[in-house]
Copies of this chain bind each other. A is one copy, B any other.
Amino acid sequence: MALIVQKYGGSSVGTIDRIRNVAKRLIATQQAGNKVVAVISAMSGVTDKLIALAHEVMDTPPERELDMLVSTGEQQSIALLCMAIADAGFKALSFTGAQAGISTYGSHTRGRIESISPERIMRALDEGYIVVCAGFQGMTPDGEIHTLGRGGSDLSAIAMAAAVKADVCQIYTDVDGVYTCDPRVVKAARKIPELCYDEMLEMASSGSKVMQTRSVELAKKYGVVFEVRNSMNNNPGTIVKEEDKDNPAMESLVVRGISIERNQARVTVSCITSPVPYTALILSALAKAEINIDMIVANTAHDGMARQSFTMNMNELGAAQAALKSVLPQLGPDAKLDTEAGLAKLTVVGVGMRSNSGVAATMFRALADANIPTGMISTSEIRISTTVEIDDIERAARVVHDAFHLEQA
């Protein structure tokens, strides 16, 4: 008998019919001899409707009251799902985040999970119930309701899987798993059967929208094996787990996947002559303006003047310009800004890169042969990213996908 946590997002429980479908899946999983914990989101649209109602009252509602309001969305969906299970003749119990023992800290609307006390859930499982927990929410030790922010339900599921020592955590979504590249862009893209946490993290942080990095990080921290699956079929998904260093099959693939991110912009500060520690000055200015920068490239020109470039989401370009303008005078008399919008980012990911040289060469050779100019480049042990013009990004993804033969299983 295995213990399985299954997470269903808002669109999987978006209508009463879909809730019945989820009920059937949970029952089938239990009937196959497993203990089952479902972690679910609010019915799709409900959270947005509640937020709209709040904004009808005021522009910036107190976040504590937003949490109070929005957390009712999951409370409704867990109750309805348990009813659907009961209607099919099986036993289920619903639990709010607080009842599930999900203890949080941090700020309202972006709480963080401190710990989970799963005693009540374990008891319900032992008594033969299908357990249905509200995702996206928890309670502080003081009894304040928190929601967990974007990707919160995935996070709840992974944390719950860690707490109940689940054999696997299945993240149900509307795609069959993680692909070698977005199939809408690269027709030859294949579902990846298995990834390690670090690869999933790099995929997630570089444009693959399947999961938020915070959930993957949590899974890695607690060694939770999870599988991204499609809630509308029974296809096997993508399993994400600790890298198996003794497994040569996993290592034989140098590049695992390619992700693309549109809406990128670049800001460059050049002619920096200041003797002050200018990198700290620049990064502090951007952090203070709450701008999430992505790639950072710094170099010193032959004339002794330094330049630094950053990429960020295009939406943040204006704010970044404003933040940097204010520190420009401290960077040198001729220090100046230039910016470029309309960029995209192409990233190749694979733990095999660690022990395989030549990945970068293959990638940039393929792009050059296709006459695609590249801009900024950044790398990690298991990733290479480059910016390209937005109009080139789809073609770039295809030629790099081809170059690494990712269409082959």
Contact = CB atoms under 8 A, between A and B. Distances in A.
B80 A64 contact: no
A68 B50 contact: no
Interface stretch (A54-62, A148-156, A229-237): A54-62
A97 to B, nearest CB: 12
A13 to B, nearest CB: 12
A341 interface: no
Interface stretch (A24-32, A82-90, A278-286, A321-329): A82-90
Contacts of A390: none
Contacts of A78: 68
A99 B143 contact: yes
The 4 closest A-B pairs by CB, nearest first: A69-B79, A72-B72, A58-B87, A68-B79
A65 interface: yes
Contacts of A80: 53-54, 57, 65, 69
A405 to B, nearest CB: 49
Interface of A: 16, 19-20, 50, 53-54, 56-58, 61-62, 64-66, 68-69, 71-72, 75-76, 78-80, 82-84, 86-87, 93-94, 96, 98-99, 120, 143, 145
A80 B64 CA distance: 11
A83 B99 contact: no
14 contacts: A57-B80, A58-B86, A62-B82, A64-B93, A65-B82, A66-B79, A68-B78, A68-B79, A68-B94, A69-B75, A96-B145, A98-B98, A98-B143, A99-B143
Contacts of A94: 64-65, 68
Contacts of A82: 62, 65, 68
Contacts of A98: 98, 143
B64 A83 contact: no
Contacts of A64: 93-94
Nearest to A23: B57
Given A16-B56, A65-B94, A76 B83 contact: no
Given A79-B65, A79-B66, A94-B65, A57 B99 contact: no
Contacts of A71: 75
Contacts of A62: 82-83, 86
A94 B72 CA distance: 14
A20 B56 CA distance: 11
Given A19-B57, A143-B99, A69 B76 contact: yes
Contacts of A19: 57
Contacts of A65: 79-80, 82-83, 86, 94
